[in-house]
Structure 1
Amino acid sequence: MRRSAAVYHKFTEDEIRQANSVDILSLARGYGYEPEKAGRKAVHMKHSGGLYIFPENNRFFQWTGPDDGIKGGAIDFVMREENLSFPEAVGKLIGKEYAAEARQVAPYEKKERGPLELPDKADNMKRAYWYLVSVRGISPQIVSHFMNRKMIYQEKKYGNCVFVGYDAEGTPRYCSMRAARENSSFKMDATGSDKSYPFFHEGTSDLLIVTEAPIDLMSHASIAADFYGRDWTEDHRISTGCLWNGAIDRYLEGHPQIRRLVFAVDNDYLARDKDGQFRNWGQLTAAKWVREYTGRGFQCAVHVPHLNDFNTDLVERRKGRSVEDLDRLRMAELEAEFNRDAVEEPENEDEQEMEA
């Protein structure tokens, strides 16, 4: 994450409260998000991959996409959008310079996307390779394929896996990072990333397979190659980085030969909306995309993972489980969730409101 070389001003509790009191809905509009009503207390941002804002308590929550589960106030929102440190975000929100040697007031203004800042490369890729192959179960040949094309490498400072998307001229335009550790959920996009440029494999057929994340892309390809004996390189494959179709449209513009689309996004069968109701965001989006792209003249289909995503399917298949076993696992998870609901049924409607 980028850090300023300046000495940070220590903000008071009052200044921090002032920063967190800045209206998140106005901030979201400033970052280009388009609000739409989603319920009595929540406002959904269109094409955001599940970003909800709660005006009553000035909080946000990200339901899906690379930032799944991230929530907070105005400071957290600015930190997320601009990859800023805590003091940088506070200073930006209250219009106060955070460097001790320069305290001139600067009003808040939207920061335009700058150039992509790729993290430094490590001297080798052993940790990233181990994580993707041994922990995530991805075929070694597939991991090597993308590493050889400089689309995957290991970050120098923290050892994270780095996934890079390029434009047609071979210039890096998108970068996502993921911790190369078994029990870490860390993931983030590099500063300056443009999600409309996907992590991709360019095939030779007229079929494009759409997944959400680079690991999903490689997992889907591994299942095709290792369990069904198919040539995974034949078809085009992209990961969108979220449940937004900007990357799909950009890739289709550059590949007019594509006539068939398969949406292989997550199966969020345990996800819930702000009212606590089950809401399978991945499959709802897939159904929406089928309607949209069928209307544009494409042949469309949906490939639904048996469990939450294709990497979970792949890891379980590596353990020797059959697809029938995976279906039983999914049903057991759903049954446990239903039983928990039956025990924890709220007594009144107010208890069902999400605490953001």
Structure 2
Amino acid sequence: YCTREHDSLKISNGKWMWWSRGFGGNSALDYLIKVKGMQFMDAMKILTKEGTDLHDTDAKISRKPDCDVKRKLLLPDKSETNFEVIRYLTSRGIDSDVIKACIDEGLLYESLPYHNCIFVGFDETGNAAYAFYRATTGERLMGEAAGSDKRYSFRIDRAGSTLHVFESAIDLLSYATIMKMRTDEWRAEPMLSLGGVYAPSTNNKQTKLPIALQNMTQNQTQINTIALHLDNDFAGRSATRSISEQLGNKYIVRDEPPAYGKDCNDYLQQLQRQKRKRQMER
């Protein structure tokens, strides 16, 4: 679901995400505080008092929504080892050298107490500003750490002129692995994960660019080409069209979805299956 006011604010199973602003929440209380800009006690009164019209509260709000307030990133604790992270990511087909490089650069670590993958993004001053967690158990458990600033979503910064864009950190690492399989060089060009995309409105020009992409193109002036490796589904194809229309007059925009499956990880695993089959047939 989405709201009439904000086409990029998506609601599903009690959770919501305001994609254009880069934050979300898990409850109606979160929504009232972060989107409507209400104080905690005022929000609680709305939720506990039957018959109160939410629209009547807008005129009483004097405080700006939290999107204008700098939020403190709450990073999960680090494990002393990265065994579970390495095991999980290699089981997804990602190259161990790619994983190790990300760990060494502080972009990836294993958390405590749940041993999740933590993908970290840094701001211009070198401080951690974003973190995305993903379970290593096979469960589809994932999300952003509290206080994450989506402008700095997980990425690999390099000086190349072509920016490669992905929906998720797993897709980014999968593409890096594919590049390593083909040329043994995967760190020549910058790569950015958006932390997810949403299907934009019918008027693409009124839909905001993903905030991480907007921030990176503003700060890395050497970029002249954007290669979009978004998913082969409705949201991914729609987001690709929207981004292409908005940036096509400023950059060379290439639509390069995975050649197989839904996403880059599906494509990577298919390439690896084909490689194993060829080796067995020799």
Which range, TM-score by smaller chain?
0.7 to 0.9
Gaps of 5+ in 2: 20-24, 35-39, 49-59, 198-208, 277-282
Structure 1 residue 246 and structure 2 residue 199: aligned?
no
Query: When the two structures are aligned, how many residues end up with a matched partner?
Result: 239
Task: Tell me, yes or no, if the aligned pair for 1:221 and 1:232 is still in contact at 8 Å.
Answer: yes
CA distance in 2, matches of 1:237, 1:80: 32
What root-mean-square deviation, in Å, do the aligned CA atoms of Structure 1 and Structure 2 show? 3.4
Match of 1:114 among 60, 71, 77: 71
Q: Structure 1's 175 and 47: CA in aligned 2 closer, same or farther, altered over 3 A? A: same
In the aligned structure 2, how far is the partner of 1:93 from the partner of 1:64?
A: 21
Letter in 1 for 2:179: A
Aligned with residue 203 of structure 1, among 119, 134, 158? 158
Judge which range, 241-250 or 110-119, deviates more. Answer: 110-119
Partner of 1:93: 44
1:200 positional shift: 1.1
Q: Name the counterpart of 2:132.
A: 176
Q: Which of 239, 250, 253 is 1:300 aligned to?
A: 253
What letter is aligned with 2:112?
Answer: K
Which residue of 211, 219, 222 corresponds with 1:257?
Answer: 222
Asked if structure 2 preserves the Cα contact closer than 8 Å seen for 1:75 and 1:90, the reply is no
Matched, 1:221 2:176: yes
Q: 2:113 aligns with which of 149, 157, 161?
A: 157
What is the Cα deviation at residue 287 of structure 1? 1.1
Q: Max radius of gyration: which structure?
A: 1
Structure with greater contact order relative to length (CA < 8 Å, sep ≥ 6): 2
**Unmatched segments (≥5 aa) in structure 1:** 1-23, 26-34, 37-42, 54-58, 66-73, 84-88, 98-106, 269-279, 323-356
Select the residue among 313, 316, 338 that pairs with 2:267. Answer: 313
How many Å apart are 1:189 and its aligned residue?
Answer: 0.5
Match of 1:46 in 2: 7
Sort the Cα spacing of 1:78 and 1:303 in 2 relative to 1 into closer, same or farther, 3 A: farther
1:76 to 2:32 alignment? no
The DSSP-based 3-state class of the residue aligned with 2:150 is coil
- SS of residue paired to 1:319: helix
Question: Cα distance, 1:316 vs. partner?
Answer: 2.6
Map Cα deviations across residues 177-197 of structure 1 (whole Å, 9 max, x no partner). Answer: 000112x00001111001111
Match for 1:308: what amino acid? K
- Structure 2 counterpart SS, 1:176: strand
Q: Secondary structure at the match of 2:94?
A: coil
Equivalent-residue separation in structure 2 for 1:237 and 1:283 (angstroms):
19
Q: Percent identity?
A: 22
- Alpha-carbon contact 2:131-2:153 (below 8 Å) kept: no
Structure 1 residues 62 and 284: CA distance shift in structure 2, 3 A: farther
Shift of 1:46: 3.2
TM-score (norm 1): 0.59
1:63 and 1:199, CA in 2 relative to 1: closer, same or farther beyond 3 A?
closer
Q: 1:261 to 1:239 in 2, by over 3 A?
A: same
Q: How far does the alpha carbon of each residue in 1:120-178 deviate from its partner, in whole angstroms, 9 at most, with x for none?
A: 00111101111011x21101111111100111000011000001000111101111100
Q: Give TM-score scaled by structure 2 length.
A: 0.74
In structure 1, distance between residues paired with 2:239 and 2:261: 17
Q: Distance in 1 between matches of 2:175 and 2:244?
A: 19
